[in-house]
Amino acid sequence: MRPTFSIIFFTVMSGAGYGLWILMALASLLIWPERPPGNGMAEVAWPNLLPCGLAAGFLLVSCGLVSSLGHLGQPQRAWRALSQWRTSWLSREGIAAILTYLPVIGIGSAIFHDGRMPVDAMTGGDPLAALWMSSEMRTVASILLLAGSVATILCTANIYACLKPVRAWHNRHVVAGYLLIGIYSGALVAWALAALPQGQIVDLRVLPVLVAVFAFATALLKHRYWRFIDHDPASSTADATGLGSLGNVRSFEQPHTQENYLTHEMGFRLARKHSRKLRTICLIAGFALPALLALLGLAWPSLSAPAAWLALIGGMSGIFVERWLFFAEAKHTVMLYYGARNAD
Amino acid sequence: MTGLPPPAARKLGLVIDLDTCVGCHACAVACKEWNEGGAFGPLPDQDPYGAEPHGVWFNRVHTYEVQGFGPSSAGSACKLAASAPSQGAPTHPESRPSTGERPVIPDPANAMSVHFPRSCLHCETPACVTVCPTGASYKRAEDGIVLVDEDKCIGCQLCAWACPYGAREFSAKRGVMQKCTLCVDRIYNETLDEADRQPACVMACPTRARHFGDLGDPQSKVSELVAERGGYALMPELGYKPVNRYLPPRPRRAGGTKPETRPAAEPIDTAQMSPLLRWVDRVLSR
């Protein structure tokens, strides 16, 4: 399949954004469940990790979604894509993506309001009563954010996983891969944000640990995925045309002398030629390097900031290569009519 | 709606005879011509008169070389294998080690070219319809024709990815997907003579290799043709239940390319012939 920049950029960026939102939602639920007594503002004050993470996720998700419109032939009609959620994963993805903005906007505006509240406003009376965001509201909004982000990533993955004619997509590794890579890239961004000079982080050694664990898990999954797609069941022009019972079938003449839409869109071969090298680059830059840097950051906390940003750059480059390969290596059944063959 | 309608009794589709198709591309050209001006047109090309024209075709005609597996009797197979050991097997993909019982020695006498028109099969359970996010793609409840509403299509191209038969193409000029309409604007068109209410490709075919009709009705001419000739669906294992059927090439007559054997010479007693005829026989026998 021809790798299209708009789709690769969309899936990588919005994947990272939703992964980041998943972590922010979890952090908001698990790490900061209670307000520290007497210090109501510290946790929500800019530039703490939660508002930073929500804002960065907003940016990543929005850039990704805008980029996905670039793939459309009639982008001004994109709103129509929200109508067929009963059957279409693409439609479900659009709806999930829009709904997930709601808890983010809710939490974000509450943080903005509460964080700007002058301290003396809280000295008289009950300070917590003046805040927009109660613990209950935070819990509900965080659960909605978590559910929306996971649902959107699952919808994105299922757009590809439901396509039977593309074996490299129609398998059980794909959905798990999108979710793992989403959370992994979210962890990379979160760690880099936490390492910012002003990042008021309580104790976020959990982020490099997450990076290392998810790097390992994702690399393992990708390895298994690549082994799966490298062993195509044999299929050929004979199977596609149904002429196999008569003899050996060979494409003798194609319908047109020029490349057409089908061969252009689904006959991309270059990636498979260089797949070994690209997979190695992806594994080293995307997973091994960030994992090592995470361990380095854990061992020497003073090196944490440069390690986190290097890990982000390396990891995201590797994930871009991974996503490019995900599209570019995939074979489409229709190419069997054009003489392609898959051998075991 | 991209939900599929309940299975209907009427299943309009095409039956394509691979035995008589001569690969002239008249169907493809007639299709392009009709649909350029039809209700679902136009079908504009990019760079139509330039070096690299590029555009949507609802019909594309492939040509395949089919080389027979050859005689399975041991003697002639060994002889053929010995005489042409490197020609067939290594270059052909089907020489899989797993199909051990099927001899893979090609018999040149059985080789043939098969012209293979490929178009939308108007599947009963088309994934191109269910993946569509806008509802532009739909299957008609009354006759099973799969269509695209080009005023709703956003051109996301997901339906083209979902179709294993390559039936859908993206018009870069119009920014929407286009596909075979089974000439829905001809087959119900009361301004045409009744005989002309058939898809343009069927009308154009000079060898009558294309037949149009209701494949849901077992009594229809096309259904009888399919039953008689062993018509088959393409890649039924994928589960989309194509409606269109292909009629396989009939077996070729044996001996087409074998060296002709001369009739055995009759015995002649030249002593009984006149000297003139003896001289003629001697001259002609040189």
- Average pLDDT on A201-230 reads 89
Q: In this prediction, what percent of chain A has a pLDDT beyond 90?
A: 67
C-beta neighbour count of A321 within 10 angstroms: 19
Q: How many residues does chain B have?
A: 286
Residues A150 and A282 in one domain: no
Residue B176 C-alpha, separation from nearest chain A C-alpha, in angstroms? 6
Bigger pLDDT: B266 or B70?
A: B266
Which of A162, A197, A218 finishes a domain?
A162
Nearest C-alpha in B relative to A163: B162
Q: Residue A268: inside a domain, yes or no?
A: yes
Residues A218 and A153 in one domain: no
pLDDT band for position A204 (50/70/90)?
A: low
Q: Residue B156 and residue A244: Cβ atoms within 8 Å?
A: no
Residues A49 and A158 in one domain: yes
Q: Residue B267: inside a domain, yes or no?
A: no
Q: In this prediction, what percent of chain A has a pLDDT beyond 70?
A: 87
Q: Residue A170: inside a domain, yes or no?
A: no
HSE (side-chain half, CA atoms, 13 Å) at A292: 8
Residue B254 C-alpha, separation from nearest chain A C-alpha, in angstroms? 14
Backbone torsions φ then ψ of A188, nearest 5 degrees: -60, -45
Residues A87 and A149 in one domain: yes
Q: Residue B95 and residue A248: Cβ atoms within 8 Å?
A: yes
Q: Residue A180: inside a domain, yes or no?
A: no
pLDDT digits (tens, 9 = 90+) for A253-262: 999 888 899 9
d(C-alpha A290, C-alpha A211), whole Å = 7
User: In this model, does residue A61 exceed pLDDT 80?
Assistant: yes
Average pLDDT along chain A? 87
Q: Which domain holds residue B140?
A: 12-65+114-247
Number of domains in chain B: 1
Q: Residue A84 and residue B54: Cβ atoms within 8 Å?
A: no
d(C-alpha A64, C-alpha B129), whole Å = 26
Residue A227 C-alpha, separation from nearest chain B C-alpha, in angstroms? 21
* b/e per residue A322-341 (b: at least 16 CB within 10 A): bbbbbbbbbbbbbbbbbbbb
pLDDT digits (tens, 9 = 90+) for A163-181: 999 999 999 999 999 999 9
Q: Which domain holds residue A41?
A: 1-162
Q: Identify whether the C-beta of residue B186 lies closer than 8 Å to the C-beta of residue B200.
A: yes
Average pLDDT along chain B? 84
Q: Residue A168: inside a domain, yes or no?
A: no
pLDDT for position B4: 87
Residues A21 and A143 in one domain: yes
pLDDT for position A125: 56
Residues A147 and A33 in one domain: yes
d(C-alpha A21, C-alpha A146), whole Å = 7
- Average pLDDT on A200-223 reads 86
pLDDT for position A207: 87
Size of interface A-B (CB pairs under 8 A): 215
Nearest C-alpha in B relative to A90: B133
Q: Residue B241: inside a domain, yes or no?
A: yes
pLDDT digits (tens, 9 = 90+) for A277-322: 999 999 999 999 999 999 999 998 888 889 999 999 999 999 999 9
Q: Residue A171: inside a domain, yes or no?
A: no
Q: Residue A247 and residue B110: Cβ atoms within 8 Å?
A: yes
HSE (side-chain half, CA atoms, 13 Å) at A155: 26
Containing H/E element for B233? none
Q: Would you say the C-alpha torsion B196, B198, B200, B201 has a positive or negative sign? A: negative
Helix/strand/coil for A85: coil
* b/e per residue B6-42 (b: at least 16 CB within 10 A): eeeeebbbbbbbbebbebebbbbbbbbebbeebebbe
Nearest to B165 among A162, A247, A334 (CB): A334
Residues A157 and A19 in one domain: yes
Q: Residue A172: inside a domain, yes or no?
A: no
pLDDT for position A37: 42
Nearest C-alpha in A relative to B154: A74
pLDDT for position B110: 67
Contacts of B230 in chain A (CB under 8 A): none
Q: Residue B272: inside a domain, yes or no?
A: no
CA-to-CA dists, residue B39 to B18, B179, B193, angstroms: 29, 12, 18
Hey, of A4, A11, A74, A245, which one would you mutate to test binding to chain B, going by the most B CBs within 10 A of its CB? Answer: A74
Strands B210-214 and B60-67, by their bridges, are: unpaired
Contacts of A91 in chain B (CB under 8 A): 133-134
Q: Residue B64 and residue A164: Cβ atoms within 8 Å?
A: no
Nearest C-alpha in A relative to B132: A88
Judged by a CB distance cut-off of 8 A, whether residue A116 touches chain B is: no
Residue B246 C-alpha, separation from nearest chain A C-alpha, in angstroms? 9
pLDDT digits (tens, 9 = 90+) for A137-146: 888 999 999 9
Q: Identify whether the C-beta of residue B185 lies closer than 8 Å to the C-beta of residue B196.
A: no
d(C-alpha A60, C-alpha A15), whole Å = 8
- Average pLDDT on A122-126 reads 55
Tokens matching residue B117: 């028109």
Q: Residue B234 and residue A260: Cβ atoms within 8 Å?
A: no
Contacts of A253 in chain B (CB under 8 A): 23, 62-63
Give the burial class of B178: count Cβ atoms within 10 A of its Cβ; 0-12 exposed, 13-18 middle, 19 or more buried.
buried
Residues A139 and A207 in one domain: no
Q: Residue B275: inside a domain, yes or no?
A: no
Q: Identify whether the C-beta of residue B55 lies closer than 8 Å to the C-beta of residue B45.
A: yes
Cross-strand pairs, B59? none
Hey, of A84, A85, A232, which one would you mutate to test binding to chain B, going by the most B CBs within 10 A of its CB? Answer: A84
The CA-based angle A240-A243-A341, given to 5 degrees, is 40
Number of domains in chain A: 2
Bigger pLDDT: B273 or A217?
A: A217
- Average pLDDT on A101-120 reads 78
Residues A126 and A197 in one domain: no
Residues A116 and A16 in one domain: yes
Give the strands of the sheet with B60-67, arranged side by side: A248-253, B60-67, B112-118
Residues A56 and A142 in one domain: yes
CATH code, B30: 3.30.70.20
Q: HEC states along A243-255? A: CCCCCEEEEEECC
Q: Identify whether the C-beta of residue A105 lies closer than 8 Å to the C-beta of residue A98.
A: no
Q: Identify whether the C-beta of residue A327 lies closer than 8 Å to the C-beta of residue A1.
A: yes
pLDDT for position B262: 65
Q: Residue A174: inside a domain, yes or no?
A: no
Q: Identify whether the C-beta of residue B157 lies closer than 8 Å to the C-beta of residue B30.
A: no
Hey, of B161, B173, B201, which one would you mutate to test binding to chain A, going by the most A CBs within 10 A of its CB? Answer: B161
Residues A146 and A211 in one domain: no
The CA-based angle B20-B25-B28, given to 5 degrees, is 115
